[in-house]
Amino acid sequence: MPDAGLSYHAAVSKFSTLTVLVAGDFMLDRFVHGKVNRVSPEAPIPVLSHGRDDVMLGGAGNVVANVAALGGRAIPVAVIGDDEAGAQLRRLFDARRIDHGRIISSANRSTTRKTRFVAQQQQLLRFDEEVVASLAPGDRQAMVATFAAEIERADIVILSDYGKGALWNGVAAELIALCRAAGRPVLVDPKGTDYRVYRGATAVTPNRKELGEATGLPTASDAEVEAAGRLLRDSCDLDFVLATRSEEGMSVVEAARTLHLPTKAREVFDVSGAGDTVIATFALALAAGCEMGMAAEIANAAAGIVVGKRGTAQTDPDELLDSLSAGRSGSSFDRDGVVRLAAAWKAEGLRVGFTNGCFDILHVGHIAQLEDARSRCDRLIVGLNTDASVRRNKGEGRPINIETDRARLLMALKAVDAVVLFDEETPIELIRAISPDLLVKGADYTIDQVVGADFVLASGGKVHLSPIVAGRSTTGTLGKIASLG
């Protein structure tokens, strides 16, 4: 069952206790790097001067690599070719100390290898060496038997379908049936357009293009993604659909709600394998006890990290927690998100501060108060009145700036680590939920007037009254504007 009180830090710390069974199409990703300085005299094509080769685990192998990099234990189950590429794949597993004893080598199979030629960080060409075919009867029987023997040791299962044939001809359905019988959740990274082959899985994780192709519906907007996700969920008897949307983040479509998460990527260099990172991280978070939204947030953060790296990349727990703690994925957090964030910071031994206000017309007095508050703690959370609560407190005509603009301005400040909106008359419930180590308010208040002061002091925290900058106020600014006519 999901743990509503789980923090990011606690969830990621659990990854090392979890086992993920991964089955599907295992392959190699090879990157040939070099420089292009001239065009061939033989044909109008660039000449690549060879620099170096990088060989990485690809396909389902990259899912396994992501699970291992995040601290989890992965059990890879597959049939690969009894060839040099297959031997190289095993050596890569050995280098990562990943047990590959459940991977079957077969003379009936060819190990897929994708070679990308890259010059000055630009891919020039991809060359695929593969034979796409269903498993031979004997290989299929061996793989399913191996999967069935290992499923009891797994906390969660991933089927990684790259369309090379390992899950074709009813294999996916057979593995999903084994998962359901064992009571194990199973996530599928799908391929093709007929997702009925994954009927009964816990979820599928298509990208936006794949979602559109599988449903025949448009997927440009949030509403369109939700409609397509619901159709897919209902028609394939899924618990939910996790749709990745490139630079727009991801969406989780459940029976009763849909969550849209903006991307956490600051700069995109290479999207190779990002879907593998999403499904591996999401599976670990789900198995760790995260509720759906939190699992998606963690997976979204992991994807944002790997697309900022070159090649088929992974992330690790420390890097992931740093990204989650940075918390700058949007203009503000919802209440549950900021409570989890505060808990994660505290678990890392960081001192969490809190202040609140309308911050309608941001001025130097605000900046001074926020900088003073941040200097006294490691992370500062700002509670921001919604537009409706500002109107109730200050009357019609206020706020001057809408809540999303006010939140974005605050998040742009170095002193502010997170912003959360509240609609109540006071932020007392928010303060109780966050339980800050430090509560800050302006020195125009006294301690006994500060909302939440008694709670924070009783909890062992401190209350600080920040100096006021004379002559700087929103009311004064509005008065000057009015005087100009």
373-412 pLDDT tens trace: 999 999 999 999 998 998 898 888 788 888 888 888 898 8
Does 71 score more than 90 pLDDT? yes
pLDDT at 471: 62
Please, which pLDDT band fits residue 1 given cuts at 50, 70 and 90?
A: low
Reply yes or no on whether 444 is catalytic.
Answer: no
Q: What tens digit of pLDDT does each residue of 428-468 get?
A: 999 999 999 999 999 888 999 999 999 999 999 999 999 88
Residue 215 token pair = 């449903």
Compute φ and ψ for 47, nearest 5 degrees: -100, 120
- Residue 432, domain CATH: 3.40.50.620
Q: Which helix (H) or strand (E) holds 149?
A: helix 137-150
pTM for the model: 0.70
Check whether residue 349 and residue 271 sit in a common domain.
no
Which of the residue ranges 45-49, 59-63, 66-70, 254-258 would you say has the lowest mean pLDDT? Answer: 254-258
The answer on 251 and 111 residing in a single domain is: yes
d(CA 70, CA 65) in angstroms, rounded, equals 9
**pLDDT of res. 329:** 41
Residues 230, 90 share a domain = yes
- Number of domains forming the structure of the chain: 2
Q: Is residue 270 one of the residues assigned to a domain?
A: yes
| Residue 319: pLDDT band with limits 50, 70, 90 | confident
Same-domain check for residues 194 and 289: yes
Q: How much is the pLDDT for 261?
A: 82
Longest dimension (CA), the chain: 87
For residue 45, how many other CB atoms are within 10 A of its CB? 11
Angle, CA of 453, 457 and 458, to the nearest 5°: 115
In angstroms, how far is CA 161 from the centroid of its own chain? 20
Distance CA 159, CA 146 (A): 14
Q: What is the pLDDT of residue 264?
A: 58
Strongest mean pLDDT among 65-69, 294-298, 316-320, 403-407: 65-69
Average pLDDT rounded to a whole number, residues 87-97: 96
Domain residues for 99? Answer: 8-327
In-domain check, residue 1? no
Both tokens assigned to 25: 């199409």
Q: Report how far residue 378's alpha carbon sits from residue 110's, in angstroms, rounded to the nearest whole number.
A: 54
CATH of residue 26's domain is 3.40.1190.20
Clarify whether residues 378 and 445 are in a common domain: yes
Please give the share of the chain, as a percent, with pLDDT higher than 70. 91
**Residue after which a domain boundary falls, among 274, 309, 327:** 327
Q: Which of 139, 189, 276, 417 is catalytic?
A: 276
Q: Which residues pair with 204 in a beta bridge?
A: 188, 241
Q: Which residue do the tokens 């599976």 mark? A: 283
